[in-house]
A and B are shown apart, each in its own frame.
Chain A
Amino acid sequence: MSTMNAVLLNGMVAVPAGFALLSWLMLRRERAAVGIAVLGSAVTFGWSVWLVASTRSGGLGEPGTTVDAVWLEALDIRWRLGVDGISGPLVLMSTLVFATALFSLLRHAPEAAEGGPRRTGSLAALLMLIEAGVMGSFLALDMVLFFVFFEVALIPMWFVISAWGDAHDAVARRKAATRFLVFTVTGSALMLVGFLLVRADSGTFDIVEVATSYTPSGATALAASVLVALGLAVKTPLWPLHIWLPDAHSKAPTVGSVLLAAVLLKLGTYGILRFWMPVTSPEWLLVPVVAALAVVGIVYAALACLAQTDLKRLIAYSSVGHMGFVVLGAATFTVGGVQAAVFASVAHGLITGLLFFLAGAIKDRYGTTDLARLRVLYGRVPRLAGVFAFAAMASLGLPGLAGFWGEMLAIRAAVDQAAALPEITYRWLAFIAALGVILTSAYFLALMRGMLQGGPLQPATDGVDGTVELVADTVPAEPVPARVDVAASEWVTWSPLILLTVVLGVMPGLLLTPVAEAATTFLGGLG
């Protein structure tokens, strides 16, 4: 069993990496390269299902459940991979989103910037490389190995944004890409310093051992925890370190936005659960501060969303709010909080992934995501608008859909926080977060009112619809696709996300039970 496990775990990283390489070797034949990458993403998804299905519950401490090999002996860095109930759901969600994103490339490749060839093959290969890095990060149990995989995704993502991003604005696109890169690298370098301090204190890079036998206390441990939190807060992002996010998410091509929001942010939230919580003592003031920043982020993001005029920026800001709930859940240091964090991460991946796909579909049809120009979509593309309404409802936390449980459980966990944390503060935080939920509903409803239902911006004169006229300027070449409602390939791309959003909304126990088991074994003495 343990060799089998090793093959499965190593394969989880090696399969996407191998397909990335294959696809790169095939670059001269564009269609073949894309096809191989799509096949690869499907195989990776199947592989992840197999991996998670064959994982026994029992935690990472048991021998034979993890891969453990020497990687760099001189520094005691080990190649240690494993999967449990915390990482399993995120792995499944990510491989699914990657598969849908790559599938969408078959029909909806982003236009090439600077008028060059589309080079969709290179894009597909880069996405597979990112997938390998993401898988490695979710499976790594050695702190330095996590850091290494964390960085793997960066350079490819930087290329995705700066080479395939918003074709109309080269300067802003590159600026967004570089800002994304610099922020993330600063964060992860600080995180590395934190990890090294943990090692100086605890004597090991192995997070499972740290989680079971290390009790953080003293100045070094606090400094380590602050640095790790800082690094992950950039990635997650936690207010006020989110400023790289709106630009990066809105300038990226559709697949890039989908993956940035649905998958790459989860590296931050997963890092908080797996690598920050074990090195942090709930007795420190740091923990309530982090929780408070998360709540500020929830409210701030909702207010920022109300003021947005661009659909993609709006969705990007809404991510900041959702991540606030995740961090709030984690900062309660309870099993319920970890459940909330994992659930909200998975739900956000599905729903926001879907929202960015829809924003991309709208941009394909109308050439813009400017909310001032998008009106009466119910009348023009009723099915697309219907799916958008569904996704928006899921995102604002409608009971019965996946978005609801994460937020509800996070607020509940904040009311029922760990004993070492200040009770009154957390009550207030829970209250403000609940207000944030209302604000979130407000901006999504306003969005639906304006974009889906609202009438023409200007009164129609001479029988010409003002909206269409405005839009027509920006889409000179292809007027026909503008009339097409949801295409078959788009149904294929979106339906798994829609389906899972409903399934998880109706049966949250599917996810909550394994997470609770894993959280109890991994983090030990949680309340």
Chain B
Amino acid sequence: MTGTVQHIDWAAIAAPLALACTAVVVLLADAFAGPPRSRTRALVPAAVTVAGVVVAGAFALSSYLTYRDGGPQSTFCMEGVLEGPAPCSFVIDPLTLVFWAIVLLGVFVVALLETADVAEGRTPQGEWNFLLLCTATGAMVIAASRDLVTLLVALEVVSLPAFAMVGLRRGDRRAAEASVKFFLVSVVSTAVMLMGISLLYGATGSVFLSQMNVALAAGVEARGVAVVAALLTIVGLAFKVAAVPFHMWVPDTYVGAPIAVAAYLSVVSKAAGFVGLILVLAHGLPSLAATWSPVVAVMAALTMTVGNVLALWQQHAVRLLAWSSVAQAGYMLVPFGAVAAASPAEIGEVLSRSTGYLAVYAVINLGAFAVAAVVGTRYPAQRLTDYRGLIREEPLAGWALAFALVALAGLPPGVIGLVAKVVVFSTAAGPATWLAVVMAVNVAIGLVYYARWLMELFRPAEVSGASTYDVPNGVGVAIGMTFTAGVVFSVMPGLLLDPVLTAMGR
């Protein structure tokens, strides 16, 4: 550091900054306005959140246009390095932009889903939306972070408000318990990861991923330390993505939390974990791939198998979605397990397949949770049998859920889910064929429980009219949006996957 005032590129950080500013606005407005007097007034925080997301989206779009014309933007760079390009803490490249899109979509839908709880009046909307925007800010920052300290801080910004969101519903003991469980597991994982990061710093002499890569590629004395550190860091992030054996918190937390929060954890929070994994492994530790790739391969095989097998017995819709999201995380880990012999340049390309799958999963899974939120307004017990008659009595929600389930299973007409599976399969066939075979068997196991749920949708309800709902407008929009996106991408999968895969493959 030269001691001068650091130059900050405000345009580059505009998108996360917009979310952070909206968070403050929501909190202050809520504090000054006092408790809402009508149901319409209670919707104001959600409306502000949605507006904030739209503004952030506009900034993200302008960042994309800048990227298209002039390449990656970076800020918070270290000045005065003697050789090579200056390492930066905040970089906007295709990886960042794709994750920003996923995060913004996720937050948009989650904010709409929470409006289903307004009628009940047990969740303070102002605080809840403030927390949502805070954690979203963290998720935006982590996608742009390129040094381990920023990455860790951003990851904590994602997690800390999420604990509170899980347990914010007044007088809900299950939610409180879920929150505590989530908190404890998360803190332990952060501690483990912090240990890994400090060792990595010790072994390579830098916290910047690019410099770490250079040091490791050139060969470091304490290679053993670096390997251990890499594994510890992976463990920390594995908690976030809910990979087996670090998944135990998932079912109870999802079931205890409000559905909107479960949707958030299964999409945005998981995405944050994956971007962390991609950054650390592909940008910082590609030269150790021969060590970490087999470990992650085993983890992927275990994750999908455990997730799918345990989902088979679930009768609770959200618990089933929880296990299914564990299994889906396993599929997303497959590309990580297939790069043991790949060159550092290839690793980035292969891991972009994970991102492609994640993007598809985000759209589809949010759709499934959106319908679960509707059904939850009448049947908080969320038994699968509560979904009977949905196709006939609530066709939009019914078909949307049916579509989401076949897409999660990876079968037509949910072609987008199937293509996403092809994308992941294609990385493993060859370098890790055994993993592809394990995945093939898992796809079939997964089918059983998705099909079981699907069948319930088409059965007539026992009491006529038991499945008619007064769908809140916000949730209706969320369902319509995710459903339409899923159908459009099924007809033209290239629309979603071509930009994601080619942009990041470069």
Q: Assess the A186–B444 pair: CB atoms within 8 A.
A: yes
Q: How far is the CB of B433 from chain A (nearest CB, A)?
A: 6
Assuming the contacts A155-B406, A162-B455, asked whether A193 and B501 have C-beta atoms less than 8 A apart, the reply is no
A152: chain B residues at CB < 8 Å are: 412-413
Complex Cα distance, B148 from A412, in Å, reads 70
Contact status A178-B451, CB under 8 Å: yes
From known contacts A116-B460, A155-B411, A186-B441, infer whether A74 and B501 are also in contact, taking CB-CB under 8 Å: yes
- Of the candidates B356, B422, B500, the one whose C-beta lies within 8 Å of that of A192 is B422
Nearest-neighbour CB distance to chain B for A142, whole angstroms, equals 12
| Minimum Cβ distance to chain B for residue A225 (Å) | 13
B344 on the interface (CB 8 Å rule)? no
Assuming the contacts A71-B493, A72-B419, A185-B447, asked whether A155 and B455 have C-beta atoms less than 8 A apart, the reply is no
Asked if B381 is at the interface (CB within 8 A of a chain A CB), the reply is no
Interchain nearest-CB distance for B221 vs A (Å): 38
Question: How far apart are A68's CB and chain B's nearest CB, in angstroms?
Answer: 15
Contact check: which of B418, B426, B455 meets A196 at CB < 8 Å?
Answer: B426
A471 to B441, CA, bound (A): 44
Q: List 8 A-B contacts (CB under 8 A).
A: A74-B494, A75-B423, A148-B415, A158-B451, A189-B425, A189-B441, A192-B422, A197-B433
B437 is an interface residue with CB less than 8 A from chain A? yes
Residue pair B458, A163 in contact (C-beta under 8 Å): yes
Bound together, the chains give a CA A183 to CA B440 distance in angstroms of 11
Q: What 1/0 mask marks residues of chain B from 449 to 467 whose CB sits below 8 Å from any chain A CB?
A: 0011001001110000000
Contact indicator per residue, chain B 485-506, by CB within 8 Å of chain A (1) or not (0): 0000000011001101110010
A74-B501, A148-B412, A186-B444 known; A193-B493 Cβ under 8 A: no
Tell me which of A74, A77, A190 contacts B437 (CB under 8 A). A190
Do A174 and B505 form a contact, CB below 8 Å, given A193-B429, A200-B429?
no
- The reply to whether the CB of A47 lies closer than 8 angstroms to some CB of chain B is no
A190→B430 contact, CB < 8 A: no
List, in ascending order, chain B residues with CB within 8 A of A200's CB: 429-430
A84 at interface by CB-CB < 8 Å: no
Docked-complex contact B493 and A72, CB < 8 angstroms: yes
Nearest A residue to B402, CB-CB = A155
- Measured between beta carbons, the chain A residues less than 8 angstroms from B447 are 181-182, 185
Q: Output the least CB separation between A129 and chain B (Å).
A: 8
CB contacts (< 8 Å) of A217 on chain B: these are: none
Query: Which residues from chain A contact B418 at a C-beta distance below 8 Å?
Result: 148, 151
Question: Which residues of the other chain, A, contact B356 by a CB distance below 8 angstroms?
Answer: 74
Nearest chain A CB to B390 CB, angstrom units? 15
Which residues on A sit within 8 Å (CB–CB) of B46? none
Asked if B436 CB lies within 8 Å of chain A CBs, one says: yes
* Nearest A residue (CB) for B494: A72
Residue with the greatest number of chain B CB neighbours at <10 A, chosen from A70, A182, A183, A189: A189
B498:A72 contact, CB within 8 angstroms: yes
- Minimum CB–CB distance from B420 to chain A (whole Å) comes to 11
Question: Which residues of chain A are within 8 angstroms of B250 by Cβ–Cβ distance?
Answer: none
- Please, how many angstroms separate the alpha-carbon atoms of A185 and B450 in the complex? 13
Could you tell me the distance between the alpha carbons of A444 and B466 in the complex, rounded to whole angstroms? 52
A185 pairs with B443, CB closer than 8 A: yes
Residues of chain B contacted by A413 (CB below 8 angstroms): none
When C-beta atoms are compared, the residue in chain B nearest to A133 turns out to be B412
Can you list, as one digit per residue, whether each of A145-175 has a CB less than 8 Å from chain B (1) or not (0)?
A: 0011001101100110011000000000010
Whether B61 sits at the interface, judged by CB under 8 Å, is no
A144 at the interface (CB under 8 A from B): yes
With contact pairs A155-B406, A158-B451, A163-B458 given, residues A75 and B422 touching in the complex (Cβ less than 8 Å): yes
Partner among B423, B444, B493 whose Cβ is within 8 Å of the Cβ of A189 = B444
Q: How far is the CA of A174 from the CA of B451 in the complex (A)?
A: 11
Known contacts A74-B501, A185-B443, A190-B437; decide if A159 and B458 are in contact (CB<8 Å): yes
In contact, A73 and B425 (Cβ under 8 angstroms): no
Query: Is residue B25 contacting chain A, with contact meaning CB distance below 8 A?
Result: no
* Given A193-B437, A200-B430, 13 extra CB contacts under 8 A: A71-B494, A72-B494, A74-B494, A74-B500, A144-B422, A151-B412, A155-B413, A158-B451, A189-B443, A193-B436, A196-B422, A196-B429, A199-B429
> Is B425 a contact of A192 with CB atoms below 8 Å?
yes
A220, CB-defined interface residue at 8 Å: yes
User: Which chain A residues lie closer than 8 Å to B55 at the CB level?
Assistant: none
Interface residues of A in 227-247 (CB under 8 A from B): 227
- Interface membership of A507, Cβ < 8 A: no
Judging by beta carbons under 8 Å apart, are B444 and A182 in contact? yes
Picked from B428, B440, B455, B502, the residue with its CB within 8 Å of the CB of A186 is B440
A223 touches B505 (CB 8 A): no
Q: Is the CB of B444 within 8 A of A196?
A: no
Decide if B448 is an interface residue (CB 8 Å cutoff): yes
**A193 CA / B421 CA spacing, docked (Å):** 11
From A181, A192, A200, name the one whose CB has the most chain B CB atoms within 10 angstroms: A192
* Residue from the list B419, B429, B436, B444 in contact with A185, Cβ < 8 A: B444
Bound CA span A144–B426, Å: 11
Chain A residues numbered 214-229 whose CB sits less than 8 Å from any CB in chain B: 220, 223, 227
Distance in angstroms from A5 CB to nearest chain B CB is: 23
- Specify which chain A residues have a CB less than 8 angstroms from the CB of B455 in the assembled complex: 162, 174
Within 8 A of B (CB), among A97-145: 114, 116, 133, 144
Contact A197 B430, beta carbon cutoff 8 Å? yes
Contact A197 B413, beta carbon cutoff 8 Å: no
- In Å, the complex CA distance between A158 and B454 comes to 11
* B443 closest partner in A (C-beta): A189
Cα-based distance from A163 to B459 in the complex (angstroms): 9
Contact of B419 with A190 in the complex, beta carbons under 8 Å: no
Closest chain B residue to A129, Cβ basis: B413
Give chain A residues whose Cβ lies under 8 Å from the Cβ of B415: 148
A75 partner, pick from B412, B439, B460, B501, beta carbons under 8 A? B501
What B residues does A77 contact at CB under 8 A? 422
Give the distance in Å from the alpha carbon of A190 to the alpha carbon of B418 in the complex.
Answer: 14
Q: How far is the CB of A237 from chain B (nearest CB, A)?
A: 16
B243 CB to closest chain A CB, in angstroms?
Answer: 21
Query: Would A74 and B497 count as touching, CB distance under 8 A?
Result: yes
Query: Among B430, B437, B460, which residue has its beta carbon within 8 angstroms of that of A220?
Result: B430
A190-B440 CB under 8 A given contacts A73-B498, A74-B494, A182-B447: yes
Does A185 lie within 8 Å of B502, measured CB to CB?
A: no
B residues 167-225 touching A (CB-CB < 8 Å):
none
Contacting residues, chain B, for A163 (C-beta < 8 A): 458
Interchain CB contact under 8 A, B412 and A181: no
| Residues in chain A near residue B426, CB distance under 8 A | 75, 196, 199
